[in-house]
Structure 1
Amino acid sequence: MISTTPLVFIVDDDVSVRESLESLVECAGWTPETFSSARDFLARERPCAPCCLVLDVGLPDLNGLDLQKQIGVDRTDMPIIFITGYGSVPMTVQAMKAGAIEFLTKPFDDEVLITAISHAIDTSRIALAREEGMRTLRETHEALSRREREVMALVVSGLLNKQVGSELGISEITVKAHRGRVMQKMNANSLADLVNMAARLGLPAAPGR
């Protein structure tokens, strides 16, 4: 279950910056969590809530760009906003190419950061909803019987019911029954819906196709 309360993670080794940003985030109506190092942040369990990371580049243990590399694959639902006191063009380009949503040089206007955080949280919500949708789709497909999955694979590959029956050694009437249950269980309104679901699931092509 996805929590509706947005979280804003703040990672900065300067306590005054952490406290200032914590207050700013609270005033904006979000829940802040602060960390003094990248290692401390990595030890935090991944949340199931809209979130973003306000990340200082120059951290003492693991710098912000290296942290971005570590979490970029696993936490696509957590956009990163970089903050730094000594930004450079190559550094900014590297961060943005790796998926950062914003790169701000200190001192920055509070409203600029608030706008960036708001955008990041909206992006996070969309990513989480997409993940939840995929999770539900996978679970629904896995709940199909083996025969239903076989019929679905052949149907989405473009075979007619008669051809599916021939492939599986069952009657056309039986194929129709399995196909109807597949459509119902997968909540597919049309064959096009079912084909789209199969593509999203990355299902392999049917045997021999």
Structure 2
Amino acid sequence: MSSQEPVAPSEGAAKPRRRDRTAPVDPKNALEDALLSAHRIAVAIGEINAFRDANVSLAEWGILRTIGARKDVSLKEVSVAAGVSRQRVRKVLSDLQAKDLVTMGKSEGTDKRMRTISATPATARVLASVSQQMHGLLSQTGQGQQSRRLAGAARSLNRLAKHVRRSLAAGRPGRKKKADAASDLDED
């Protein structure tokens, strides 16, 4: 039985066994383990009352945070910064527009088909409210050490995301391959 399999109820325990943190990590499973951990973190963060109180989802908050207080941000810019498809961004923006948190307009540039997104005054209030509640959570759990751990984890996850995007792009037909898709994960 692996250390990650749950103990059968007939053996008297209902909780899954914890992974032995001293056991070596199998590089073949490292990406899957990292993705599962990132998903668990996202689910846990999505359950924070700050999002419910502000009437936004984690995805909506992420897009709002990407836009910030800027005006006339392109859909492409939001999509790239958020790391999600334009179609997904359009769906989230539609929901945010219904909540009066963003406005969408047509570009005044050369391509009139391009859409631009701007934050509304309510956006700043939502971002401040969620941020304040998150900082409050940190202060309850020992802000200094916890903040350093979170900052390190965020840097690691960003490097992993960058590496995965490069690897995927290198394997897609019709796209320019990166010179070194498996480049050093420690670069920023």
**TM-score with structure 2 setting the length:** 0.28
TM-score, with structure 1 as normaliser: 0.26
Specify the structure having the higher radius of gyration (Cα).
1
Higher strand share: 1
